[in-house]
Amino acid sequence: MQFIIKSTPEEVLRARSWWNNLEVQWKFAFNEALFGKGPVLEPPSDDHMMFLLVGIDTIRMAGPGAMHPNVSMALTNLSGLIPLYNLVNLSFTNMRISAVTELTRFTKIEHLYLYDNQITSLQGIESMKNLKSLYLQNNEISDIGLISELKNLEVIYVTKNKIKSLKNFLPSKLTHLKKFYVQPNELLPDKELIQFQNKHGIICRQG
Q: Where are the beta strands (DSSP E) in the chain?
A: 58-62, 89-93, 111-113, 133-135, 155-157, 179-183, 204-206
Q: Is the pLDDT of residue 30 over 50?
A: yes
How far apart are alpha carbons 185 and 162 in whole angstroms? 6
Average pLDDT over residues 118-147: 97
- Quickly name the fold that domain 57-206 has: 3.80.10
The answer to whether residues 82 and 52 touch, using CB atoms and an 8 Å cutoff, is no
- pLDDT band for position 8 (50/70/90)? confident
| Domain range annotation of the chain | 1-56, 57-206
Q: What is the pLDDT of residues 170-193, one digit of tens each?
A: 999 999 999 999 999 999 999 999
Question: What pLDDT does 1 receive?
Answer: 44
Q: Is the pLDDT of residue 22 over 70?
A: yes
Neighbours of 107 (CB within 10 A): 12
Amino acid present at 199: K
73: helix, strand or coil? coil
Q: Is the pLDDT of residue 9 over 90?
A: no
